[in-house]
Every structure is written in C-alpha cells, then in structure tokens.
Amino acid sequence: MPGPHLLLVVVVAVCLIKTASGFANGKVSRACGDMMPQHGHDSSSKPAPYNITLDKLTFSPGDHITVTLLVVPTSGSISFKGFLIEARDAGNPDGPAVGSFSLLNHSESQLLHCGHTQGSAVSHTSKSKKTEIQAMWEAPKKPPASVQFMATVVQKYKVYWVQIPGPVVSLNGVTGVPPPNPTPTTTAAVTTTLSALTRPFSSEGCGRSKSCLRDPVGCDPGRDPLCFFLSFTPEERTVLFELSGPADGYLSFALSLDKWMGNDDIYLCVRDGDSVDINAAYVSGRTHPELASKNVLSDTAWQLADGVIQCRFRRDIFLPRQIESRFSLDQSYFLFIAHGRAGDGVIHRHDRQPLISTHQTVITGPPKNLAGSRSPLLIKFHGVFMLVAWMTTVTTGVIIARYFKHDWPETRLFGRRLWFQVHRALMTLTVLLTCVGFSLPFIYRGGWSRHAGSHPYLGCTVMALSFIQPIMALLRPATDSSRRYIFNWMHLGTGTIARILAVVAIFLGIQQQALLLPGPWSNGVLAGCVVWGVLVDLLLEFHSKAVIVTGRTLAEDEDEILGTHSDNEKQRKVSRFKKIVLAVFLLGNVGFLSVLLNTIRNV
C-alpha cells in the first residue's frame, strides 16, 4: 500500500494535470472578470508582441465588427497558445463584458459564457501555436456610448499579457464620449499604444474615397518602395491618415496656411531602433517642431520594411481649444511631406528639444480640405479650358477645314468663304483657351511645378506650337504659289503634333495631385472622346475617297451611256451625309465632354 507521501504526490499531480488541461482547453470562464490566467506567475512587463485590429470604428445596435488578434509583424514568429477576448464598456473597463461573439475560426476558438450573456467572450480550444485569430462581435440592442476590446494572450505558461488594450469603437450619433476610466492596466495605453500594420498601403481609392499626395506622380506604395505617399480619408468625426516613404530616420507631413514651412501643424513618424514613434507636433516660426504635450492621435499603427517607414493614425476633425494650436481639419491647407535623418540622441516627450535635423527633403502639395478635399478652382478651370480646346474646338475646326471646303462654295462671311471663317474662329478660340488655361497653374502655384512630371513640359510645347500655327497661317503663300505645298505640309504636321502632345498632356494632367480624377473610368471616358474623334475623321476620310472614285466612274458612265444624273444632285447628297456625320460627332463629343467636366466640378 503506498505511503501517505506518495499518495499526496499523486493527488497533487492529478490536480496539476486537471488545472493544466483546463487551461489548455480554453474553459476559462472563471477568468472572465479580471481576465487573469491563474498560472501563479505575474504577467510580463515587456511590450506585448500582439495586437487587436477592427474592421470599423463606429457601430449601431446589432452591427457586426470583425475582431482580429494577431502577432505584431516586427516581433518575428512569436506565436501564442492561449487567449481570451472580451469587449467592455470603455467608460467602465472593469465592468462586465458587452455584446456577444460568433466564431470565425471554429477549430481554434470557442465561445464562453461571461456574465449574463452567452458568447460574450472568445477563448482557445487547445494549446496549439497560433499567429492570428478572428471573431465576429455583435453589438447589443442597448450598447454603451463607446466599447473597448481587450485580450489576454498566453505565449507560454509563465509568459503572458493581461488585458492588452485594443481600439475603442463609438456608437453612431453619440458625441462627447467620455474617456475610459484610468486603471493600472489601461492608463493612456488606450490612445498611445502602437500596433503593427496588417497590410501595406495602396493607392487604390485615390481620388474617390480618399485624397492622395504622391511623389513620383501616380506611384503606388504597395508596388513602388521609392514612392512617397500621403493619403487622408474623411470619416464621420475623424480623418484617417496614411504616410509612407523611404527614410533613414523620420517621415513627416505638415499642414500649412501658406507655401512656406513655419507655424505649421506637423505629424511625425520617427524611427526608433526597430520601431516607429508616431507623434503630433507644432512649429512656431522657423524652428524645429515641438512634440505635443497631449496626445491627439488614435488607432496608431506602423511598419518598417526595407528602409520604408509606413504609419497610420486617426485624428478628430475638431479638437478642444485648450489642446495647443492644433488645426481643425475642415479647412484647406498646403501639404508638405518631409523626410531625413533623425537628430542626434534620443529625444523624450518632455524634453521639448529639436527632434529632427536640418537634413531633410520636402515635397509640397496644393491646399486641400482634409475633412472633404476638393481641387482648387484655378486648377479646375485649367482642366476645363484644355479639354474644351483640344477635345472639341480644335477637332471640329480640323474637320471643317478638311472635309467642308466645297460644301458652301458661294456662301461668304465677312468677305471670306464660310468654311474658312468657321475654321479660323474655332482655331482662334483654341489658342485663346489654351493661353488662359496655360497661365492658370502658374498663377496658382506662383511658379514652375517640380513634381508634376512631364505634364508641364508637354504643356509648354503645346503652347508654343499653338502660337506657331496662326503665325504660319498669316505668312502663308498664295494658293497658286509654287511654295504652297510647303506651307500645307508644315501646317498639317505642326497641327497634328500639337494635337497628339495635347492629348498626352491631358491624360497626364487628370492624374496630377491637384486635379486627380477618379480612375480608371475617367481615363476610359477621355479615351472614348479621343477615339470618337478619330473614328469620325476616318469615316469622313474614307467617304471622301469613295466619292472621288465613284464620281469618276459615274462621269464616265454619263458620257458613254445615260447622262441623266447631275453633278449638283450628287454634291447635295455628299454634303448632306457629311453634315449628318458632323452633327453626330458633335453630339457624341459634347456627351463625353459633359461627363468629364461634371467630374472635374465634383472633385
């Protein structure tokens, strides 16, 4: 018979096995209150290598929110074995769980009964290694004004983190939500804890759901590691910012009331070893930025990869007046992106010392309203004038000159043949619209744009060719001159080159930062307008060739056989056909142009 000591050992061992198996299978309902694993060890004091993300930050009763618990990418392959996820009233984080969950990972997660609600928490089903867990949270019928998600994560038996704070979601239509009560586990971490980005930034949605500043123009941070990218997405009460670019020490952007750095609202993403500090700052005069004493940013997240810094955060559109000199985001500001090397030494929040050195590169953008960005009026008119000039008036003028010379032989206007006067009027209008449109970007920017790619160079070339054409026309030789063919070819060649370059410049122009039309459909509409003009030109060209050939054949037939059809009747039929084609062309052209102009009006 075993002795009492051996029996005691067996009993203790059984208890330990029972306890261990209980934790391993995730049946931890007794930990619902404080979310503390009963492992007999203190929670880790190191930063948690895990993060909670949500697919939305506002909700209504009965709404569903996808909650993801995952490993911070920069932490390497640090998996976890156990977890407990709950949602709490942000105004009373020590209170009971709020809402209920449904499972998305049935093999690795299970629902727990915490408090009076079934499924009010989610835990693990086994001690298998995990890197990501998802669950669907459903808001209760009578929810609190704000809800915070939190998780306890067990890496191994002696290493775990309790109540890792996640994002706070707000009930739609509720204003003035009070901050969570400070507790030892949630003090300030609710708004300042950094998390890792779960996916890289992308230019998708630029010009539609968000406004973007990019250098080089049109680059995509998801594909081009050298792309400097700033986007802002207006939301109900906040603006979501995304900033990305290659930088050795820091990446930042500023909101400015003018085109010069100084007295600006600045947002900094500063590399600190293998992590990134995200802070708001302000510049008084021509000095280095001073960090804000009060945090105004939420949902901060970052990523470091191959020398590229990416950071994301939200900021309220309106802030209390007592929070320093923060700009409201419902106004228009000039945008600056700066990057460079971090200053010497580590700067702490309370030092109020220069944070960055003067070794920096600055990229500027046009003024934008961040709560609902719209393109500047001068740039809109620039686009309108160029589209009307080179999509409508010049194309119509060319068609009139090429195919309607013989349609009004006796009709004159101010002493000249009608086709010539219409052609000259349309081309003069093209030059005037081009001149006015050409000057507007220079007036708006106060000089040359260094970040617009080849668009301004093409624009200058088109402007020069537009001046050359009328000068060449004034100096043209007489119709019966032996040198007339030289003028004809030069006039045709210069005009054709100008039209081709203008079309290329317009395609590049609608992708500029100041006038970013929604793509890709806007490109399709512009392409349709160009193709429509080309098709009509080809139709009239083929028709004119066919008329010439057919006319010769009929003439021979008249002389030899019938001689019953007059040339005047044939000419009237040809003229009628061309006028119908011209009317159809103008109808389609105006349709395409109206869509483009309306799009410009709304950006």
Q: Is 598 helix (H, G, I), strand (E, B) or coil?
A: helix
pLDDT at 29: 65
pLDDT at 259: 66
SS3 content of the chain, % helix, strand, coil (to 5): 35, 30, 35
Distance CA 299, CA 120 (A): 24
CATH level 3 topology of 211-373 = Immunoglobulin-like (2.60.40)
pTM above 0.75, yes or no: no
pLDDT in tens, 434-483: 999 999 888 877 777 766 778 889 999 999 999 999 899 888 888 888 88
- Mean pLDDT over 389-415 rounds to 88
Mean pLDDT estimate for the chain:
78
Q: Residue 26 in contact with residue 125, Cβ under 8 Å?
A: yes
pLDDT at 368: 54
Question: What class has domain 29-171?
Answer: mainly beta
Contact partners, residue 173, CB within 8 Å, separation at least 6 = none
- Mean pLDDT over 356-381 rounds to 54
Q: Is 436 helix (H, G, I), strand (E, B) or coil?
A: helix
585, pLDDT greater than 90 = yes
Nearest by Cα to 397 from 589, 180, 142, 128: 589
Burial of 196 per CB tally in 10 Å (0-12, 13-18, 19+) = buried
Distance CA 547, CA 336 (A): 61
289, pLDDT greater than 90 = no
- Mean pLDDT over 96-100 rounds to 91
* Range from 127-136, 438-447, 514-523, 567-576 that averages highest in pLDDT: 127-136
pLDDT at 378: 81
Contact partners, residue 566, CB within 8 Å, separation at least 6 = none
Q: Residue 90 in contact with residue 150, Cβ under 8 Å?
A: no
Q: Is the dihedral of CA 199, 205, 211, 214 positive or negative?
A: positive
Domain segments of the chain as ranges: 29-171, 211-373, 377-553+565-602
- The reply to whether 377-553+565-602 shares the fold of 29-171 is no
Q: How many residues does the chain have?
A: 603
pLDDT at 74: 60
Query: Could you say which of 2.60.40, 3.90.660, 1.10.10, 1.20.120 is the CATH number of the domain covering 377-553+565-602?
Result: 1.20.120
